[in-house]
Amino acid sequence: MGKPMLKLLCLLLLPASALVAVLCWLPNWSSVGKAVPIETVEIVQTYPHDSQAFTQGLVVDQGKLYEGTGQYGHSSLRIVDLVTGRVELMTPLEQRFFGEGIAVLEGKIYQLTWKERNCIVYDQATLKPLNSFNYSGEGWGLTHDGRHLFMSDGSSTIRVLDPNTFRTIRKFRVKQGARSIDRLNELEFIQGEIFANVWQTDQIVRFSPEDGTVLGWLDLSNLYPLNQRASDQAVLNGIAYDDKNNRLFVTGKNWPNLFEVKIVSVPTIR
């Protein structure tokens, strides 16, 4: 079978939602040096989620779910019972702050703010603020590799930061072939890769934390149909990985559910 026919067959095998995602978000394949997997997910378990929570950051650590929420006057940092969705502990942000991504590292929680250029650092157990750091530009997503923080700002650029000073150690751009992948939002470090929500889509891009090379895509458009969402702001945003039990969780802004999902492979398009 020739390559043109193989491409056509792969496209026909994809569900319609995934096909739209591919056409909209994947780069010109003539600029890509090797095949990049496009995968989807199956739902393993569905849990309740606060539909008033404008999710901006999501972390599972030691079996606990930590969530950062946004919107001026409604931003918060929470510890949530994963199974019931009940908020066990919450610290509201000052009304001047729009909460963004979070990371849990060495007993501390780091929470970005959108345009306020301020990262608030909390005690992990009590959610009491300890100190804060300033940074330039906007704050969107945050994760870590156990040593350094990785921060997104809505562009294709990822900053690698010293968690003790918030000093930028290096930067890199997330690229697939010649195309930069921008609008990177919530981040999660998973088995040596970084997963990132792409804002205003149901897509997650996987990339190398070393140089930003795109390693694959996840299409999650099958989780929560657009026609059931409260508004066009209710987009996929929130990735949490339980590394102790190898479990992956996702949700979105004002979504009524948190989903535990399993990645399922589909044909690779070249």
Ordered DSSP codes for the chain: --HHHHHHHHHHHS-HHHHHHHHHHS--GGG-SS-B-EEEEEEEEEEE--TT--EEEEEEETTEEEEEE-STTT-EEEEE-TTT--EEEEEEPPTT--EEEEEEETTEEEEEESSS-EEEEEETTT--EEEEEE-SS----EEESSSSEEEE-SSSEEEEE-TTT--EEEEEE-EETTEE---EEEEEEETTEEEEEETTSSEEEEE-TTT-BEEEEEE-TTSS-GGGSSSTT--EEEEEEETTTTEEEEEETT-SEEEEEEEEE-PPB-
pLDDT at 222: 87
> pTM of the predicted model, to two decimals?
0.85
Domain of residue 66, residue span:
3-265
The total number of structural domains in the chain stands at 1
- Does residue 72 belong to any structural domain of this protein? yes
Block residue for tokens 């502990």: 89
pLDDT at 233: 86
* Alpha-carbon span 53 to 101, nearest angstrom: 13
Question: Which two three-digit tokens encode residue 11?
Answer: 């496209």
pLDDT at 53: 96
Which residues are CB-contacts of 5 (< 8 A; sequence separation ≥ 6)?
Answer: none
Looking up residue 156, the CATH number of its domain turns out to be 2.120.10.30
pLDDT at 21: 46
- Does residue 270 belong to any structural domain of this protein? no
The number of C-alpha atoms within 13 Å of 192 and in the hemisphere containing its C-beta is 1
pLDDT at 267: 58
Q: Are 243 and 204 in contact (CB under 8 A)?
A: no
pLDDT in tens, the chain (270 residues): 443 344 444 444 545 544 444 444 444 433 444 578 889 999 999 999 999 999 999 999 988 999 999 999 999 999 999 999 999 999 999 999 999 999 999 999 999 999 999 999 999 999 999 999 999 999 999 999 999 999 999 999 999 999 999 999 999 999 999 899 999 999 999 999 999 999 999 999 999 999 999 999 999 998 888 888 888 888 999 999 999 999 999 999 999 999 999 999 775 553
Q: How many CB atoms lie within 10 A of CB 83?
A: 11
Question: Which two three-digit tokens encode residue 20?
Answer: 């739209």
* Alpha-carbon span 113 to 98, nearest angstrom: 5
- Does residue 178 belong to any structural domain of this protein? yes
Closest to 83 in 3D by CA, of 48, 44, 58: 48
- Does residue 226 belong to any structural domain of this protein? yes
pLDDT at 9: 44
- Does residue 133 belong to any structural domain of this protein? yes
pLDDT at 269: 55
Closest to 36 in 3D by CA, of 217, 263, 173: 217
